[in-house]
């Protein structure tokens, strides 16, 4: 199970990677994509909106199920990963790289402190 140490994780299995200043990328963990199975569609219609921490910002559809996506921290959705439009399976093959889902502008950087590090997330999933 791949759980990169440079990311923060939510109990809902989303990860966040802060890049330049208050800009971050959000996706779902390797564990989550494995549980969902083959992802066939990503639905995010919140680009341009400010979303509170733990609120739904979209969904992913796998062959047998649909799962809501929860924003791990408050922020404005500034971009949807355009690659997912034609290749939603990138979430399965590269969840921490090309399979990122949204780029956000953080509203409150301090909220990152409420998320899990890789060790705590590893314990959550019983790995």
Give me the CATH topology for the region 8-108.
OB fold (Dihydrolipoamide Acetyltransferase, E2P) (2.40.50)
Look at residue 120 and give its three-state secondary structure. Answer: helix
- Per-residue DSSP letter, 116: B
Round to whole Å and give the CA distance between 5 and 46: 28
- Per-residue DSSP letter, 12: T
Look at residue 77 and give its three-state secondary structure. Answer: strand
Query: Across the strands, what pairs with 106?
Result: 75
48-97 tens-digit pLDDT = 999 999 999 999 999 989 999 999 999 999 999 999 999 999 999 999 99
Q: What is the pTM of this model?
A: 0.96
């Amino acid at each position: 199970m791949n759980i990169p140490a440079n990311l923060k994780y939510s109990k809902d299995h989303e990860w966040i990677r802060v890049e330049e200043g208050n800009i971050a990328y959000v996706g779902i963990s390797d564990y989550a994509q494995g549980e969902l199975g083959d992802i066939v569609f990503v639905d995010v219609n919140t680009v341009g909106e400010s979303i509170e921490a733990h609120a739904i910002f979209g969904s992913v559809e796998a062959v047998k199920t649909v799962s809501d996506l929860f924003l791990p921290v408050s922020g404005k959705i500034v971009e949807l990963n355009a690659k997912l439009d034609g290749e939603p399976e990138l979430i399965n093959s590269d969840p921490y790289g090309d399979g990122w889902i949204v780029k956000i502008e953080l509203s409150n950087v301090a909220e990152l402190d409420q998320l899990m590090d890789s060790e705590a997330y590893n314990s959550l999933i019983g790995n």
